[in-house]
């Protein structure tokens, strides 16, 4: 994403709301977007280098932006159905070490586990299409 794309996206955020989950008792309209997450969704080979072909941009609010920098929280985001869930690490049964984990699928949209990828493009080959 170049600087112009980014500027256009940021300008468009004025009318966007956070796309992440705030739990069942909160509404999206309470959370105006102030920033966005970017997930590189696919790569193709070209001239011996990998060229990024598509990016998923997800508007997020300031609360969620803070959460992504907070060591206590991990965000799970499903690339298949776009569901999201925050995990509070101290009370989780699993040990999460990343702030953001992209899921290939989740219990909302698939019976079988579609794999996970962390926020590192090299590992997104198999799970992002």
Smallest gap from residue 17 Cβ to Zn ion (A): 8
Which residue's CB is nearer to Zn ion, number 108 or number 129?
Answer: 108
Extended strands (E) in the chain: 33-46, 49-61, 73-78, 84-88, 100-103, 116-118
Which residue's CB is nearer to Zn ion, number 51 or number 81?
Answer: 81
Smallest gap from residue 20 Cβ to Zn ion (A): 5
* Contact residues for Zn ion, defined by CB under 5 A: 18, 20, 31, 61, 64, 78, 80-81, 83, 106, 108-109
Smallest gap from residue 70 Cβ to Zn ion (A): 13
Beta bridge partners of 74: 87
Which residue's CB is nearer to Zn ion, number 45 or number 111?
Answer: 111
| HEC letters along 65-96 | HHHCCCCCEEEEEECCCCCEEEEEHHHCCCCC
């Amino acid at each position: 994403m170049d600087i112009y794309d980014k500027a256009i996206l940021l300008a468009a955020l004025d009318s966007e709301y956070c796309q992440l989950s705030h739990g069942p008792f909160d509404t999206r309209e309470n959370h105006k977007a102030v920033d966005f997450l970017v997930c590189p969704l696919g790569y193709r080979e070209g001239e011996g280098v990998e060229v990024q072909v598509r990016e998923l941009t997800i508007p997020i609010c300031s609360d969620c932006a803070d959460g992504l920098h907070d060591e206590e929280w991990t965000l799970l985001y499903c690339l298949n159905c776009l569901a999201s869930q925050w995990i509070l690490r101290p009370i989780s049964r699993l040990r999460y070490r990343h702030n953001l984990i992209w899921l290939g699928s989740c219990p909302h949209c698939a019976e079988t586990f579609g794999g996970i990828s962390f926020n590192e493009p090299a590992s997104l080959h198999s799970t992002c299409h």
